[in-house]
Amino acid sequence: MELSIQIILFAYCTTDYDELNVWHKKDGRIAFYLSGYSAFFHLPPITTFKTSLCLTWESRTGLAAFWVDGRRSTYQLYKPGHTIRPKGTVLLGQDFVGEVTDLNMWDYVLPRSQIQLNVNVIVVDDD
């Protein structure tokens, strides 16, 4: 889906840094930024209908993935060992026109079953 603008879906900023950002790029990709350069993900289109979008990233290993309606994207290795600074501010839907019904954050990576439970779906697939 081609957008006319880039949309910041989520931002976590400290006084000195943009620590973590999730952008919906004009070309439809989703970008995950940690203090600088980004990892890009090609996901199913995010529509105006209810969509569950989840990001997992583990600092120790750098494994990152998005989940759309309970289905995981391909993993990417992104900034292993990186630390997110504390005492920041969350900006939700800064450029977003629409409705956000829930936001949940954990300080650990949830297992697949818990992510699917949070979106009230059970997905059966090959991985």
Instruction: Give the pLDDT confidence of 53-112 residue by residue, as tens digits.
Output: 899 999 999 999 999 988 999 999 999 999 999 999 999 877 777 778 788 888 899 998
Phi, psi at 53, each rounded to 5°: -120, 125
pLDDT value at 127 more than 80 = no
Kindly indicate the confidence band of residue 36, based on its pLDDT and cuts at 50, 70 and 90.
Answer: confident
Residues 6 or more apart whose Cβ sits within 8 Å of residue 62: 77, 78, 79, 80, 81, 82
Distance between terminal CA atoms of the chain? 26
Query: For residue 101, what are the β-bridge partners?
Result: none
pLDDT, residue 80, reads 97
Which residue is it, tokens 């600092």? 59
pLDDT value at 122 more than 60 = no
Q: Whole-model pTM?
A: 0.83
